[in-house]
Amino acid sequence: MSFWSDQRVIVTGGAGFLGSFVVDGLKARGCSHIVIPRSRECDLRDRDAIRKLFRETKPTLVLHLAAVVGGIGANQKHPGQFFYDNAIMGIELIEQARQFQLPKLVVVGTICAYPKFTPVPFKEDELWNGYPEETNAPYGIAKKALLVQCQAYRQEYGLNAVFLLPVNLYGPRDNFDPASSHVIPALIKKCVDAHNRGDKFIECWGTGSATREFIYVADAAEGILAAAERYNKPAPVNIGSGMEISIRDLTTLIAKLTGFTGEIRWDKSKPDGQPRRCLDTTRAASEFNFRAQTPFEEGLRATIKWYEENLAARDLQAGRRQA
């Protein structure tokens, strides 16, 4: 708690999904000086806007969570935007942190930075042993470039910049827009909406054979804050839960938890994405004593409950109007 009492913290992306939980964690730790720049007021692609933000707020710590993200479909539709926006935001922020002589910077990367065929579980030392999965490579490479910048700036300028690699997130407040959502919110929406409409089947992308690891968003936020408190080294660190589940089994589980009893159809013309994802989380445990705490089914139930209480009725009504 004493670490946070005098910190002046900028949380880029602090109004977003992960960022809102990080801000909750900061407040719970007694941090009273929190700045959340909004894109309409501070375009993080603009160096002058970042310079003005630093000059006016005088941060002692920056947590860089802001990103342009989406599922496989969104990555395929906007590879140029995903590359440019994510790269330039990070590059300009890290450069201004150096010029400002910021005491500490935490940059949040992505699991998509890993090579397509990384041995499971993914160890941080495998990051450079191949090209990322093609459907999200522009996003993954843009984020991985920021790791290089963090390490280079530490070596040449002494900037205390650390780099974290969170696995796929899920939880309340997630993005449930089918045009840009990730797999868990997309499946929850499909199953809840289909159950409410009385549909006899849902359709899912791919074969269902790909595997993924997921971490509950509140756990990921705790990992980021633990690294901010206690980690000061150049090596990247995985933030994950250490579990692995196939998309087919995940879909079956979500269908059961939402009460959907219809058929699950697989559109094999659509891509599966990376064949397997599961992280080695020993570095986070040894370096700053972080271990995810939320059981997967418990986290899914909380996420489903949030969607049902906040968005399901609205989405069902919108679907009826479109029909």
Render pLDDT for 217-243 as a digit per residue (tens, 0 to 9).
999 999 999 999 999 999 999 999 999
Give residue 54's pLDDT: 98
CB 166, CB 114: distance < 8 Å: no
Give residue 321's pLDDT: 62
Peptide bond into 121 cis (omega under 30): yes
| Residue 204 DSSP symbol | E
pLDDT in tens, 69-78: 888 888 899 9
State the Cα–Cα distance between residues 180 and 123, nearest whole angstrom: 28
Give residue 323's pLDDT: 53
Q: Is 79 helix (H, G, I), strand (E, B) or coil?
A: helix
- Rounded mean pLDDT, 182-193: 95
pLDDT in tens, 92-127: 999 999 999 999 999 999 999 999 999 999 999 999
- Rounded mean pLDDT, 284-293: 98
Banded model confidence at residue 51, pLDDT cuts 50, 70, 90: very high
Instruction: Name the amino acid, one letter, at 35.
Output: V
Say whether pLDDT at 192 is over 60. Answer: yes
- Rounded mean pLDDT, 253-264: 98
State the Cα–Cα distance between residues 22 and 35, nearest whole angstrom: 12
- Rounded mean pLDDT, 186-190: 96
The mean pLDDT of the chain is: 95
Does residue 139 have an active-site annotation? yes
Banded model confidence at residue 270, pLDDT cuts 50, 70, 90: very high
Say whether pLDDT at 314 is over 90. Answer: no
Banded model confidence at residue 1, pLDDT cuts 50, 70, 90: low
Q: In this predicted structure, which of 144-158, 176-190, 237-251, 306-320 has the lowest mean pLDDT? A: 306-320
Say whether pLDDT at 2 is over 60. Answer: yes
Structure tokens at 180: 């840009």
Give residue 71's pLDDT: 80
Q: What is the pTM of this model?
A: 0.94
Q: Is 159 helix (H, G, I), strand (E, B) or coil?
A: coil
Pick from 304, 118, 122, 108: which is nearest to 213 by CA?
122
More confident residue, 88 or 321: 88
- pLDDT-above-70 percentage for the chain: 97
Pick from 241, 228, 238: which is nearest to 111 by CA?
238
pLDDT in tens, 28-46: 999 999 999 998 889 999 9
Say whether pLDDT at 59 is over 80. Answer: yes
State the Cα–Cα distance between residues 157 and 122, nearest whole angstrom: 30
Give residue 180's pLDDT: 83
| Among 84, 114, 131, 139, the one annotated catalytic | 139
